[in-house]
Structure formats: structure tokens, C-alpha cells
RNA sequence: UGGGGUGUAGCCAAGUGGCCCAAGGCACCGGAUUUUGAUUCCGGCAUUCCCAGGUUCGAAUCCUGGCACCCCAGCCA
């Protein structure tokens, strides 16, 4: 038996679930993906989405999409819409399990009342500074709030009045009564409700008090019957509080929180806060700028859901701090696109090539395969003529021996057309070549060599007669540093790559590169994978480079891509 | 001498005391095929698992002691 490659990768969370199932701790698996709608989803969220939805799928359980919307100041409908679109695009379906933490505000309120009644929560009227000061430090215990001894009746009365809008923002908070000397700061009477007179994206103006994350999350999990609440490492310290809340109210069940390490990708940032800065400061065009590691940016760049899911599978789930190489993601995109995408020819930096012995007004039509290794993908026609364009990089006045392209006196194949020999060139006032001349060998139609002669170089071309002008966006990594946010001394924006976007406005593409309403993917032969930009129009063809082809030649030569 | 975590190749990662002189992927280095210097294919790539002791017939896996790194003092999540 061969090893199945459809087997989901083993990881410690799946092992935990296997044990829970085997020991009958749970009957079926329920997970959730709980984004806060305060920004767009990024590749790090994709890891969590694939984990949570992937586990639900593999174990035939369920996964909720739940908006963790307890802080109305930062949250917006734009983000809840975008998040849903991104999760769907990645290929996951929450069916009828779309929820908001704010759907539970009334229940949460009742749980808070329970806590007050059992003397496990109190209204504290200290201001922010005082609360902070009395919390103590990492090495020193905190001090009890003077309001800690308020009676149940007094607390109840105050809490109800907080809800009724009697108090200004910050006047009072509700705190859990735990232990001000706990070595875990989260257990030092954490705030669980605060007053915020703020319009909420989902509940409107119904509430003016909002529950905090630590109180909301565990209870939302319990209400939904989540079995395994998967979150990132920074919440490890919060687990005792997660468990405390569930142990001290009449929660329907007690989900288990399990933490895993978040994704770090080199040469970019995976933090909503930092990405928001790039958007707000205008360093990129928006959340869906193709240079952004956001799901919407990657989509517009031409990355596929398949490649992203594959990436998430391959990086694994552990508790180790990691930094994944961007080249892994890039290679998986190539791997996904290579077998399924049509080949086309496009010249990014054109220079004119005149075939001097070709008839002036002849335009031959050739069939060219859409995929050289997959005949079943069919063919398209390409037009040949006397005047063509080729890539400037494919010609050198004085080429080295190993340059398998065009140079004076050299023979080269024009892909799927003819073998041509360079006979001369013109230069402009700067000494740069401006026109190249060649002759073609009529016996080599289609690029074949009936005499069996070897022609090492094959270059791409487009006919001037029917080639179409396009604007091509060449993208490169957004940052010049591996870990742009890794230094406390320097702002991450100092490491922005000034050449992350190059716009080529005179590219010539073959006419079969037509723009549809949705993103179309191509491989431009010898160049890379490209896609039409969603903002392209019939009069202005805009094409994004997803990723270049692997290029061992220029890598060896140390040439710049 | 606050608490919570993590340490297996350049980057991920399996491994849960004997089949480990450590799986797999990416990267890298050869070599074959090639009308994309692409793809594909074949081969190579940790006597060693943060370090030092110990237990054991046997340790990456157990014990003891170090070391390094990450997270926590929002009325953010």
C-alpha cells in the first residue's frame, strides 16, 4: 500500500481530538473561526480557517463563523462583509452557522448577573489609571479595589443602571472577583464589562455596556457547544480565566481551549494592526492591494485558494515560534497553476524585430498549444508577420557564449513560428538597440528543424499587427527585511521595499488574452504566472504578475529578476 | 528566586524508550529529458535531536541541572 497523500497532516490538536473521541469525552467535534471585524483577513487567518474548518470537515463535525464583535469602536460592516467573502473564496462553508458574539449580549448580561449574585463579580468605580496602578506589576501583587466589598444589591443596582445608560463611559466597570495577588495578571480581578456609548455594527444602539473578550469568548463557545476552542499562543495566559468563567456560571458546557502558534511569514507582516497602518497611511492602495498578505490581496495578485490551503496544510500546526519562508507559498502557487493554466505569449519590454525576408503583407496563422505538456487543453491561434516585438532582455549586442538568445549572427527559435538569424540592429542616440533585423528559414515552420539541427534558444514574441497593449504590474516583496516588524528600534515602515510595484505600460500581449469579468490566470511563457486585474476594463487591460517562473539562469548569474 | 510557553537540518515538520547512525515537504547541490534557461524525472543532502550530567541492555523520547528565545502589567482581541 502506498502512502495516501490525502491524509490530513498529523498534529497535536488532532491527536487530542482523537483521544477525546476515543474516551467518549465528546460525541462530535465542533469548532469555530472567531475573527474580530476590525480589518481584513490575512494569510495568518487562513491558517486558522483551514485548521478549524478543516478539522470540522475531516471529523464530520461543524464549524461556526463567529464575529467576535465586542468592541464597537473598531468594528465595521465593511469588514464583516469582506471576511465572509474571503472565507467563502478560500473554499469553506459555515452553512447556517453564522454568528456574532453580539447575538449573545442578552445571555452574557444574565451570566454577569449570576456572577454578581454569587459574589463573584463587583462594580468597580476606580478610573483607568487607578485600576492599572492597583493591578501591581509582573513581580509585585496587586491591591484590592476599595469597591471590592460592595454588596450584591448595590452591585446589581449599579450594573443595571450601567446598562440603562445612567453613567458616562469609564465611570464604572464590572470586574470578576478572583485574586489580586495571582501571579497571572489576567486573574487580578479582570474587567468583564465596560460602559461605551457607541453605535454597534450589529446591535445598533441597543447596548451601552459591552462585555470584554475574556468574558465573551468562553461563553460564546459554550453557547454554541464548541468542543475545541483553538486559538493562538498569546492566549495561553488567558486559559485560567476562560476556565474560571465557565466554572462559575451555569454554562451549558465547558469547551477546551487549545493554543497553537500563529503564522509568521518572512518579508511581510501578519498583524491586522500593522496592515491597517499601511492602508491608512497610503503605502498600499488598500486592503486588497496585490502586495498585501491579505486574503483579498492574494486573490487579486492571482494566488489560488488551492495553493493557500495547500500551504496551510504543509506548514503544520505546533506550538513553536516559526517564520515561514515566503518562497514556500510562492512555490505552491507555481505548483498549483502550472498544470492548469493556459500558456500565452506577452512581451513586457518590447523591442521591434523585423524579419527582412518575410513578405510585407503576409500574416500567417499558427496553432499553438494552450499547454505544451497537456494536449487535451487544446490550442489557440497566433499570428505571425514581418514586424514583431520581442523582449529587450532577449537581445544583446555582444552576448556571452552561454546566452541562448538573440545576438548578431545568432540563430534562435521564435516559439511555435520559425527559426530566425539575427542580421543586424539599429541603435538610438544613447547607443541602445532600437530595432533588430533578422531573416527567417521557411523550412522551419512551427519552429521545427527538419534537418535535425539543434537550436538551443527559444524566445517568445508577439506580432505587431495584432498584439494588444496592456499595462502590467510587476510585484515584488513588500519589505526588504525578513522580519520587518522584528526591531523595536526601527519602524516597520522603514523597511518598505520601494520597488514592490513596477508598472509597465507598454507591454504587448497576444489577442487571446482577453479580460473577463472574473480573474483569469495565464502563464506568459518564459516570464511567469499572471492574471487579469479585477479593475481592468475593455479599453485598459491591466495584468498582475502573480509570480515569476523559477529562473535558475538569472539566479546563477546574479541577475535581477 | 512573578507567571505562562518553546527548543529536531537554511525554513517548516514527523517522531510519544528499541524497526531512529531521525519520515516528509520547501530550499540547496548534482545529472537526464525538454520548441518555456519552466515543467517532469532520477540521485545527494542531520552518526544527530539547545547544552551538561544521570537512569537504562537501549534515550530525540525518562530524570536532574543549566542555557537561549517568545508571551503577559488595554476599560483591545
Asked, for residue A153, whether it belongs to a domain, the answer is: yes
Are both A95 and A232 inside the same structural domain? yes
Are both A334 and A363 inside the same structural domain? no
Are both A500 and A517 inside the same structural domain? yes
A353 dihedral zone (left: phi>0; alpha: psi -120 to 50; beta): beta
Quote the cell numbers at residue A475: 510585484
Asked, for residue A3, whether it belongs to a domain, the answer is: no
Quote the cell numbers at residue A500: 514592490
Domain end point (choices A245, A262, A279): A262
pLDDT at A327: 96
Are both A317 and A328 inside the same structural domain? yes
Contacts of A207 (CB under 8 A, 6+ apart): A105, A163, A200
Nucleotide nearest A399 (Cα, C1'): B37
pLDDT at A5: 40
Name the protein residue, with chain letter, whose CA is nearest the C1' of B25. Answer: A314
Q: What is the DSSP letter of A554?
A: H
Coil, strand, or helix at residue A81? Answer: helix
Q: CA at A314, C1' at B18: how many angstroms apart?
A: 30
Catalytic positions of A are: 36, 262, 272
Q: What is the DSSP letter of A353?
A: E
Nucleotide nearest A316 (Cα, C1'): B13
Q: What is the DSSP letter of A406?
A: B
Q: Angle between the A305-315 and A43-58 helix axes, to the nearest 10 degrees?
A: 80
Protein-contacted bases of chain B (C-beta within 7 A): 2-8, 10-16, 24-29, 35-40, 69-77
Are both A69 and A166 inside the same structural domain? yes
At A229, give phi and psi (nearest 5°): -100, 100
CATH number at residue A354: 2.40.240.10
Cβ neighbours, 10 Å, residue A453: 10
Contacts of A164 (CB under 8 A, 6+ apart): none
Are both A434 and A531 inside the same structural domain? no
pLDDT at A7: 61
Q: Return the closest-CA partner of residue A357 out of A438, A465, A460.
A: A438
Contacts of A499 (CB under 8 A, 6+ apart): A476
Distance CA(A451)–CA(A500), nearest Å, equals 47
Distance CA(A116)–CA(A296), nearest Å, equals 44
β partners of residue A235: none
CATH number at residue A198: 3.40.50.620
Asked, for residue A465, whether it belongs to a domain, the answer is: no
Q: CA at A234, C1' at B21: how many angstroms apart?
A: 39
Asked, for residue A467, whether it belongs to a domain, the answer is: no
- A350-355, strands of its sheet edge to edge: A458-459, A411-414, A419-427, A433-440, A350-355, A387-391, A461-463
Distances (CA, A) of A365 to A138, A223, A449: 76, 66, 19
Are both A168 and A288 inside the same structural domain? no
Distances (CA, A) of A90 to A41, A233, A240: 11, 24, 33
Nucleotide nearest A445 (Cα, C1'): B35
Quote the cell numbers at residue A409: 549572427
What is the pLDDT tens value at each position of chain A, 561 positions in all?
233 345 667 899 999 999 999 998 889 999 999 999 999 999 999 999 999 999 999 999 999 999 999 999 999 999 999 999 999 999 999 999 999 999 999 999 999 999 999 999 999 999 999 999 999 999 999 999 999 999 999 999 999 999 999 999 999 999 999 999 999 999 999 999 999 999 999 999 999 999 999 999 999 999 999 999 999 999 999 999 999 999 999 999 999 999 999 999 999 999 999 999 999 999 999 999 999 999 999 999 999 999 999 999 999 999 999 999 999 999 999 999 999 999 999 999 999 999 999 999 999 999 999 999 999 999 999 999 999 999 999 999 999 989 999 999 999 999 999 999 999 999 999 999 999 999 999 999 999 999 989 999 999 999 999 999 999 999 999 999 999 998 888 899 999 999 999 999 999 999 988 766 678 999 999 999 999 998 887 778 999 999 999 998 887 775 443
Are both A233 and A248 inside the same structural domain? yes
Nucleotide nearest A369 (Cα, C1'): B35
pLDDT at A191: 98
Quote the cell numbers at residue A225: 457547544
Q: Are strands A458-459 and A461-463 parallel, antiparallel or unpaired?
A: unpaired
Asked, for residue A466, whether it belongs to a domain, the answer is: no
Q: CA at A12, C1' at B28: how many angstroms apart?
A: 30
Q: Which helix (H) or strand (E) holds A248?
A: helix A239-248
CATH number at residue A551: 1.10.1160.10
Q: Which helix (H) or strand (E) holds A12?
A: helix A12-22
Distance CA(A464)–CA(A394), nearest Å, equals 17
Are both A494 and A547 inside the same structural domain? yes
β partners of residue A509: A346, A468
Coil, strand, or helix at residue A159? Answer: helix
Asked, for residue A1, whether it belongs to a domain, the answer is: no
Are both A33 and A149 inside the same structural domain? yes
A383 dihedral zone (left: phi>0; alpha: psi -120 to 50; beta): beta
Quote the cell numbers at residue A198: 457607541
Q: CA at A21, C1' at B1: how many angstroms apart?
A: 42
pLDDT at A144: 98
β partners of residue A424: A437
Domain end point (choices A396, A431, A460): A460
At A393, give phi and psi (nearest 5°): -65, -15
> How many structural domains does chain A have?
3
Asked, for residue A399, whether it belongs to a domain, the answer is: yes
Distance CA(A288)–CA(A302), nearest Å, equals 12
Q: Are residues A171 and A196 in contact, defined by beta-carbon separation less than 8 angstroms?
A: no
Domain containing residue A194? 12-262
Are both A135 and A190 inside the same structural domain? yes
Q: CA at A274, C1' at B13: how many angstroms apart?
A: 29
Asked, for residue A44, whether it belongs to a domain, the answer is: yes
Q: Are residues A397 and A470 in contact, defined by beta-carbon separation less than 8 angstroms?
A: no
Q: Return the closest-CA partner of residue A480 out of A494, A463, A496.
A: A496
Are both A55 and A194 inside the same structural domain? yes
Is the whole model's pTM more than 0.90, yes or no? yes
Domain end point (choices A199, A232, A262): A262
pLDDT at A4: 36
Amino acid at each position: 500500500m502506498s502512502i495516501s497523500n490525502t491524509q490530513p497532516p498529523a498534529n497535536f490538536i488532532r491527536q487530542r481530538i482523537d483521544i477525546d473521541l476515543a474516551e467518549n469525552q465528546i460525541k462530535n467535534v465542533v469548532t469555530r473561526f472567531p475573527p474580530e471585524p476590525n480589518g481584513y483577513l490575512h494569510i495568518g487567518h487562513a491558517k486558522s480557517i483551514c485548521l478549524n474548518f478543516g478539522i470540522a470537515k475531516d471529523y464530520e463535525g461543524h464549524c461556526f463563523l463567529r464575529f467576535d464583535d465586542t468592541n464597537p469602536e473598531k468594528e465595521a460592516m465593511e469588514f464583516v462583509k469582506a471576511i465572509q467573502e474571503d472565507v467563502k473564496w478560500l473554499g469553506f462553508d459555515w452553512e447556517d452557522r453564522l454568528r456574532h458574539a453580539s447575538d449573545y449580549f442578552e445571555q452574557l448580561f444574565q451570566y454577569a448577573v449570576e456572577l454578581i449574585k454569587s459574589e463573584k463579580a463587583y462594580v468597580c468605580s476606580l478610573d483607568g489609571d487607578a485600576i492599572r496602578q492597583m493591578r501591581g506589576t509582573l513581580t509585585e501583587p496587586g491591591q484590592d479595589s476599595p469597591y471590592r466589598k460592595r454588596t450584591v444589591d448595590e452591585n446589581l443596582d449599579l450594573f443595571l443602571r450601567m446598562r440603562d445608560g445612567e453613567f458616562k463611559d469609564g465611570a464604572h466597570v464590572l470586574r470578576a472577583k478572583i485574586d489580586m495577588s495571582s501571579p497571572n495578571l489576567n486573574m487580578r480581578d479582570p474587567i468583564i464589562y465596560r460602559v461605551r456609548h457607541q453605535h454597534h455594527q450589529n446591535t445598533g444602539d441597543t447596548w451601552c455596556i459591552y462585555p470584554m473578550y475574556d468574558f465573551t469568548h468562553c461563553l460564546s463557545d459554550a453557547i454554541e457547544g464548541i468542543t475545541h476552542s483553538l486559538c493562538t499562543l498569546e492566549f495561553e495566559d488567558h486559559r485560567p480565566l476562560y476556565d474560571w468563567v465557565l466554572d462559575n456560571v451555569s454554562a451549558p458546557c465547558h469547551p477546551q481551549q487549545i493554543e497553537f502558534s500563529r503564522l509568521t511569514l518572512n518579508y511581510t507582516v501578519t498583524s491586522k494592526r500593522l496592515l491597517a497602518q499601511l492602508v491608512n497611511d497610503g503605502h498600499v492602495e488598500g486592503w486588497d492591494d496585490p502586495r498585501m498578505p491579505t486574503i483579498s490581496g492574494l486573490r487579486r495578485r492571482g494566488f489560488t485558494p488551492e495553493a493557500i490551503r495547500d500551504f496551510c496544510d504543509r506548514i503544520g500546526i505546533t506550538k513553536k515560534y516559526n517564520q515561514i519562508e515566503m518562497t514556500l507559498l510562492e512555490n505552491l502557487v507555481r505548483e498549483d497553476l502550472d498544470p492548469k493554466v493556459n500558456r500565452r505569449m506577452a512581451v513586457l519590454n518590447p523591442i521591434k524585430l523585423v524579419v527582412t525576408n518575410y513578405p510585407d503583407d503576409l500574416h500567417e496563422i499558427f496553432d499553438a498549444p494552450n499547454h505544451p505538456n497537456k494536449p487535451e487543453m487544446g490550442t489557440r491561434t497566433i499570428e505571425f508577420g514581418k514586424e514583431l516585438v520581442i523582449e529587450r532582455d532577449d537581445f544583446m549586442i555582444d552576448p556571452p557564449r552561454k546566452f541562448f538568445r538573440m545576438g548578431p549572427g545568432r540563430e534562435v527559435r521564435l516559439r511555435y513560428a520559425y527559426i530566425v538569424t539575427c542580421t543586424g540592429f539599429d541603435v538610438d542616440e544613447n547607443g541602445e538597440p532600437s530595432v533588430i533585423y533578422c531573416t527567417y528559414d521557411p523550412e522551419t515552420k512551427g519552429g521545427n528543424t527538419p534537418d535535425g539541427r539543434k537550436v538551443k534558444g527559444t524566445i517568445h514574441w508577439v506580432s505587431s499587427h495584432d498584439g494588444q497593449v496592456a499595462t502590467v504590474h510587476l510585484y515584488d516583496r513588500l519589505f526588504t527585511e525578513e522580519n520587518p516588524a522584528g526591531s523595536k528600534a526601527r519602524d516597520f515602515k522603514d523597511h518598505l521595499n520601494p520597488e514592490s510595484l513596477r508598472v509597465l505600460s507598454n507591454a504587448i500581449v497576444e489577442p487571446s488574452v482577453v479580460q473577463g469579468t472574473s480573474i483569469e490566470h495565464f502563464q506568459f511563457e518564459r516570464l511567469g504566472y499572471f492574471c487579469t486585474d479585477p479593475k481592468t476594463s475593455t479599453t485598459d487591460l491591466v495584468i498582475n504578475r502573480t509570480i515569476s517562473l523559477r529562473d535558475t539562469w538569472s539566479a546563477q548569474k546574479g541577475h535581477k529578476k
